[in-house]
Amino acid sequence: MKILFVRPHLFDSRSSDALEPLAFAVLAGLTPSDVEIELCDERLAPVPAAVNADLVAITIETYTARRAYQIADQCRARGIPVVVGGYHPTFLPDEALAHADAVVIGDAETVWQDVVRDARDGGLRPVYRSERQPSIDGLTFDRRIFQGHRYPRIAAVQAGRGCRYACDFCSIHSFYGPHVRRRPVAEVAAEIASLDRKAVLIVDDNLFIDREHATELCRALIPLKVRWGCQVTIDVADDSALVALMAKSGCVAALVGFESLDGGNLRQMNKAWTLRHQTAQAAIRIFHEHGIMVYGSFIFGYDHDTAESIRRTVDFAIESRLFLANISPLTPMPGSRLYDRLRREGRLLFDRWWLDPGYRYGDATYRPALMAPEELTARCRDARDAFYRYRGIAGRLMNIRANARTPTHLGLFLAANLVSRRELGSKLGRPLGATALAGLETRTQAVTPMQRSAS
């Protein structure tokens, strides 16, 4: 039996910022050794024209749903069964089942071997539901699945799953619930030590949700001498000693979800708790003092936002000399309270924007309170242009304390900004999915077979 894992892209084109998709390394480790597995990452190279597999398994995020369904439809038209999983099918299983033979709801660890067994027997069930959140102690990532693929030399590592905060716009809490699971620090450190990589991205949605666990992890990373990045919340900056430990352990960059500089917006998005902590300006200063570059995340379109508030925020991001900035129109995701609220209020512009051929990447998808949708789209585009223009990049590079602190910082800053500028230029304004469906691409360099022996 042979399984093809597919990681779809937003479009039928390539990307220069793809990292290893860890979900497939987990599934590879759970797949019986007599099953041949292959990985196709459409961000790196096209899906092959003649898919040769007994089962196609696709992980779907909301932005990749339209493209994923196109791939699934074509595989099924050729008689190949398809199973899908991930955040999006978990929240919208009926939608997914219109394009797949089976859908996995929730984490796949507890049901994947059932999927493989049923596929081998020719009797896939429509739904495989994870009835519990499995422990991630002892979790293994079979990274051989990535061999032969041209990923950057940055190792993606997971130390835990979930976030205790229930932000209005986020679906993570809806997927995982209020409980945060953590891998034993010794296991995470041993995995990083085995990777022979000097650059690591810890992909947890909020690494410091458990301060004791994160502190222990930082201490374990010190002797490994790696350079790493992570996602954190603004409250981490309250503890200067903790930030110093992050830096000592090799942290060079942290994504901080500022989201907005307006207190009214923060209250509406259920992030009023951040107002009890450092201001955004003070938090950035603390990170910079310890040589940690700050990747700021901002979303625009909550009910207190105006064109002027967007301009002020991007000016703040430039003047603060942030490493990078994620500047996005507020986008209602299925599974979030935001989506349900905007639908109740009749403010959605699309029934399902992720499937609508009229939607373009970067567009507003609902009616803001104080702007027209077209103005929100345009002002966010202006903000991105201002932040990532070459003059802006050069000005932000002048932050010697952080962005140019060492050759490592400098190299990462330049590479990340140039890639972000290029990726935004290639994605903004494009419809999701394939531009033509005459057939899947004929080139096959994305597919790397992996045949395992029982040993």
Position 354 pLDDT exceeds 80: yes
Q: Which residues contact 83 (CB under 8 A, 6 or more apart)?
A: 55, 56, 57, 58, 100, 101, 102, 103, 104, 115, 119, 124, 128
Beta bridge partner(s), residue 448: 39
Phi-psi region of 314 (alpha: psi -120 to 50; beta: other; left: phi over 0): alpha
Position 346 pLDDT exceeds 70: yes
Position 438 pLDDT exceeds 60: no
Band (446; pLDDT cuts 50, 70, 90): very low
Band (447; pLDDT cuts 50, 70, 90): very low
pLDDT at position 131: 80
Question: How confident is the model over 258-279, as pLDDT tens digits?
Answer: 999 999 999 999 998 888 888 9
Nearest of 197, 187, 181 to residue 217 by alpha carbon = 187
Instruction: Tell which CATH classification among 1.10.238, 3.40.50, 3.30.420, 2.40.360 matches the domain 2-135.
Output: 3.40.50
Neighbours of 254 (CB within 10 A): 26
Residue extents of the structural domains in the chain: 2-135, 153-405
Question: How confident is the model over 357-406, as pLDDT tens digits?
Answer: 999 999 999 999 999 999 999 999 999 999 999 999 999 999 999 999 99
Position 110 pLDDT exceeds 50: yes
Position 177 pLDDT exceeds 90: no
Position 225 pLDDT exceeds 70: yes
- Model pTM score: 0.92
pLDDT at position 309: 96
Continuous segment of H or E residues that includes residue 300:
strand 293-300
Position 443 pLDDT exceeds 80: no
Mean pLDDT confidence for 179-208: 93
Q: What is the mean pLDDT of the chain?
A: 92
Position 448 pLDDT exceeds 60: no
Question: How confident is the model over 227-263, as pLDDT tens digits?
Answer: 999 999 999 999 999 999 999 999 999 999 999 999 9
**What's the CA dihedral at 374, 375, 380, 383 to 10 degrees?**
140
Nearest of 280, 171, 247, 278 to residue 401 by alpha carbon = 247
pLDDT at position 16: 87
Cα–Cα distance measured from residue 214 to residue 191, given in angstroms and rounded to the nearest whole number = 16
Range in 133-142, 293-302, 325-334 the model is least confident about: 133-142
List the Cα angle 115/119/121 in 5-degree steps: 120
CB 365 within 8 A of CB 349: yes
Helices vs strands, H then E, count in the chain: 16, 15
Band (186; pLDDT cuts 50, 70, 90): very high
pLDDT at position 172: 80
Nearest of 7, 98, 20, 6 to residue 55 by alpha carbon = 6
Instruction: Show the tokens assigned to 96.
Output: 């997914």
Band (200; pLDDT cuts 50, 70, 90): very high
Question: How confident is the model over 403-432, as pLDDT tens digits?
Answer: 999 999 999 999 999 999 999 999 999 999
**What's the CA dihedral at 24, 30, 35, 38 to 10 degrees?**
10
Nearest of 446, 447, 438, 442 to residue 74 by alpha carbon = 438
Fold of the domain built from segment(s) 153-405: TIM Barrel (3.20.20)
- Which single residue is written with the structure tokens 């690494």? 207
- Tell me how far the alpha carbon of residue 170 is from its chain's centroid: 12
Position 441 pLDDT exceeds 50: no
pLDDT at position 451: 45
Band (444; pLDDT cuts 50, 70, 90): very low
Band (436; pLDDT cuts 50, 70, 90): low
pLDDT at position 437: 56
152 by Cβ neighbours in 10 Å (0-12 / 13-18 / 19+) ranks as middle
Position 319 pLDDT exceeds 50: yes
Task: State what percent of residues in the chain have pLDDT above 70.
Answer: 96
Mean pLDDT confidence for 107-135: 93
CB-side exposure of 69: number of CA atoms within 13 Å?
A: 20
CB 402 within 8 A of CB 291: yes
Question: How confident is the model over 137-176, as pLDDT tens digits?
Answer: 998 899 999 999 999 999 999 999 888 777 888 888 778 8
Nearest of 291, 302, 371 to residue 338 by alpha carbon = 302
